[in-house]
Chain A
Amino acid sequence: MQVQEKFTAETFPASPEKVTLEGKNKFLGFWLFLGGETVLFASLFATFLALRNSNAGDPPTTEMFDVTLVFIATMLLLTSSLTSVYAMYHMKNFSFGKMQLWLGITILLGAGFLGLEIYEFKHYTHEFGFTITSSALGSAFYTLVGTHGAHVAFGLMWISTLMIRNAKRGLNLYTAPKFYVASLYWHFIDVVWVFIFTVVYLMGMVG
């Protein structure tokens, strides 16, 4: 099997992301990167946990956080994780069109999540005067949640660039690993969010 070879559903390998050496290297390297990302977010989570009551005159998190908004954002991101699973399912079955469709839905859900986050930050800043410089809590909160939001924004750009760049190329052993690795990244963003909604928002509402 060659990298640029044309495939059909019959001839496409079951795990196209790991057939070529380049694919294998991408896979391995990307998981190494995710290990590093875990450490990066751990340092931000640890800082937030240590400073979560140092609000220095800012309203406490129990007053600011809105459970409905966070719940909707969580559902959007969680569902986008499932839609990217669907995309990979169609990739493995060599259905390029359906894969593109589900990736498109993933992007829309992710964009919805990002929109809510921007609204939320704006709301805290204007209503409560809660900013990145107003307290240690503010610094820790905006750095942690903002770094996650930046990852979401990067993921949206990454997946949409992949979709556009490979629209005419279709699926082969060169493009399949690219889509696979991008979907891993998207799931990892959701993994981080699970801890953010638990540690930052839910624990912040408990007090």
Chain B
Amino acid sequence: MIECRDLVKTYINGDVETNALKGVSFEIKEGEFVAIIGPSGSGKSTLMHIIGALDTPTSGKYILDGHEVSSLNDDELSDIRRTKIGFVFQSFNLLPRTTVMRNVMLPLLYSNTSEKEREQRALESLRYAGMDESKKNNLSNQLSGGQMQRVAIARALINNPAIILADEPTGNLDTKTSHIVMKTFQDLNAKGHTIILITHEEEIANFAERVISIRDGVVESDVVKKL
């Protein structure tokens, strides 16, 4: 499903070269629930951007669902993101002053899907993400943090992506809500979704079955907890 081979990412800022990733290799199979953990500055965000097709590596290979992503242009990356990846961000990133339904349907914009089918799929996704259907016409800024994150998860699910990529999804939530959101991810995983979680909190990473630890741009450990 996901294959990373010798991923290197070098940022050049003026005369200073920063090696964010110094040769990262791993594989993730379909249906896995993987946490990528590491302190800030470890390179995990850079890794997430590459896995999420938001950015391309300086060298190395990244194959997602059979597609070589490392050398695609802007529009091709957009298409990969739309069809293969569902994003869940730390700061939710919902459209402000916009209904729950429109937020969930956002990835379906400019597709050939009929309005009716869009609504149907959005409702399905909301149910799947454990969101109360009665809130579907609420504006995004009228929701609680946990609700916002579940709307974001519903949005990530709508295109039935190959992977769900969650970047610090609990970073803005309290412990109780965090656990509810993590449970949602576990439920999705149980239904067969591949989930990649980026976090710096050990406790959150423990919800996953496999933990890849990144430090100073290299993989430090790769532990599978359950068999």
Q: Do A and B come from one complex?
A: no
- Could you list which residues of chain B lie within 8 angstroms of chain A, going by C-beta atoms? none
Interface residues of A (CB under 8 A from B): none
